[in-house]
Amino acid sequence: MSTLQDGIYHAPGRRPPRHLALVFLRADPAADSAVVDGTLREVTGMLGDLAEGRVDELPGHPVPTGDLEFLLGFGPKAFAIPGARLPSPAALGPRYRFRSPLPTGGGPVLVGAGLEYASDVVRNDATEEFCLQLTAGTQLAVSRAVVELWKLLDGRKDDRTQMAPLEIAGIHTGFQRDDHRSWIGFHDGVSNLDSGAREGVISISDGESGSDTWTVGGSYLVFLSLAVDLGPWHRLPRSEQELLVGRDKLTGAPLTGTDSDGLPVPAAGCPVAGTTEVTQPGNEDFIEPGPTDDPVLLATHVRRANLSAGDAPDLAGSLRMFRQGYEFFQPIAAAPGFSVGLNFISFQDHPDRVLRALTQRGWLGGVNFGGQPGQDGPAGRLLTVRAGGTYLVPPVRDTAPYPGAEVFG
């Protein structure tokens, strides 16, 4: 039986619920493991109640649940809480963490990656002790969960320090799109592992756990808040956009080459007769871009993000990951008045799958999204990072009050 926490929607036919809030929780430096354990019991108990429609201050008057689910992640700092009984897993070691932004803003997220922090980002809030992924079918259900979390923690503040054992230190919200496209206009989430291969890639196996045997059956969450600079992108001709992504913009068909004018050629026969998009039934053979040695195709985002064939569950066999991203849209004061992007969230048995894909030459190493390493112009500056982190998603144990309780209890 799976011991993965709720909130990883990998089962065949399941789609992630519409709304997300990813909350980062900071532990009071004065709080020891017993205090943090007590607070996590309360927090997860309260969220469990909410998932059944029970709100503390409305006894006997249930609210719609919105099918709320929550997932608890442990960052490297969680294991440094005084009294923690287990050391930080090797897979959360410094090699598998994102760099901090420069004190003046900006800077690379990883040595060798083509992704940089935005120049106004001086603090990365995805480095706190814990993360809580809240997902639900309604915006109210995730927002209410954050507000109820705040109320609970507010009631635990220490009079002298004015700090609760856990404090909300960052919130990222997002939504699923019903057109299954991303802000750049292309279909996203088309190629996302065969459902049969998913659990093998997501779930930490005996071999992957190394000496951290207690993590077996859990997963690692990798998060990147990626802002998309739509201005230069939407002025790029469609053919140039397609050569950066690797798919036909309208149909989602994978590209198979270029014609004599250098224009992209989508896979012949896709979409099949009677359908208009690769996401529709009948087009299963076209989901994965086929093997190629065409250098133009190899530079596209889809190829760079997945150069090895197959969905091998072992890390050596592939760098596949289970992507479960949520788009964001935020009004901002500066022109054009909004910021859009992707809360990239992926689950895998080791963060190395993502970090290697982002830094390896031939893969996304040195490349912002697609195209050539160090490329200037819109392709080289499409994405900027606003936050990023790596969290262990401990396995569920029947007898434990919350996943990962063995670290403190």
Q: What is the nearest approach in angstroms of ligand HEM to the Cβ of residue 243?
A: 13
392 backbone dihedrals φ, ψ, rounded to 5°: -80, 135
> Does residue 198 interact with ligand HEM by CB under 6 A?
no
Residue 353 as a binder of ligand HEM (CB under 6 A): the answer is no
| Residue 176 binds ligand HEM, judged by CB under 6 A | no
Task: Output the CA–CA distances (angstroms, integers) from residue 22 to 66, 146, 223, in the order listed.
Answer: 17, 9, 10
Q: What is the 3-state secondary structure (H, E, C) of 179-203?
A: CCECCCCCECCCCCCCHHHHHHHHC
Binding of residue 46 to ligand HEM (CB under 6 A): no
Stretch binding ligand HEM (CB under 6 A), from 55-63, 153-161, 213-221, 298-306: 298-306
CB of 271 to ligand HEM, least distance (A): 14
Q: Under a CB-based contact definition with an 8 Å cutoff, are residues 245 and 186 in contact?
A: yes
Q: Which of 358, 379, 385, 393 binds ligand HEM (CB under 6 A)?
A: 358
Stretch of residues binding ligand HEM (CB under 6 A), selected from 52-60, 99-107, 189-197, 258-266: 189-197
Instruction: Indicate whether 387 belongs to the interface with ligand HEM (CB under 6 A).
Output: no
| 245 near ligand HEM, rule: CB under 6 A | yes
Q: What is the largest CA-CA distance in the chain?
A: 73
Q: Min. distance of Cβ 326 from ligand HEM in angstroms?
A: 11
Q: What angle do CA 228, 303, 309 make, to 5 degrees?
A: 140
Q: Which of residues 50-89 bind ligand HEM (CB under 6 A)?
A: none
Q: Is 36 left (phi over 0), alpha (psi -120 to 50) or beta?
A: alpha
Site membership for ligand HEM, residue 367 (CB under 6 A): no
Confirm if 187 and 37 have CB atoms less than 8 A apart.
no
Window contacting ligand HEM (CB under 6 A); options: 68-76, 85-93, 178-186, 197-205: 178-186
Per CB under 6 A, 190 contacts ligand HEM: yes
State how far the Cα of 194 lies from the Cα of 36, in Å rounded to an integer.
39
> Which string of DSSP letters, residue by residue, matches 25-56?
EEEPTT--HHHHHHHHHHHHHHHHHHHTT--T
DSSP one-letter code for 367:
-
Cis geometry, peptide bond prior to residue 108 (ω within 30 degrees of 0): no
Q: What is the smallest separation between the CB atom of 302 and ligand HEM, expressed in angstroms?
A: 4
Q: What are the two backbone dihedrals, phi and then psi, of residue 156, each rounded to the nearest 5 degrees?
A: -105, 10
Q: How far apart are CA 285 and CA 216, in angstroms?
A: 34
Q: Which is nearer to ligand HEM, 226 or 393 (CB)?
A: 226
Size of the site for ligand HEM (CB under 6 A): 29
The CB-of-306 to ligand HEM minimum distance in angstroms stands at 3
Q: Which is closer to ligand HEM, CB of 88 or CB of 283? A: 283
- Which residues make up the interface to ligand HEM (CB under 6 A)? 182, 184, 186-192, 224, 226, 228, 245, 247, 288-289, 301-302, 305-306, 321, 341-342, 344, 354, 357-358, 364, 383
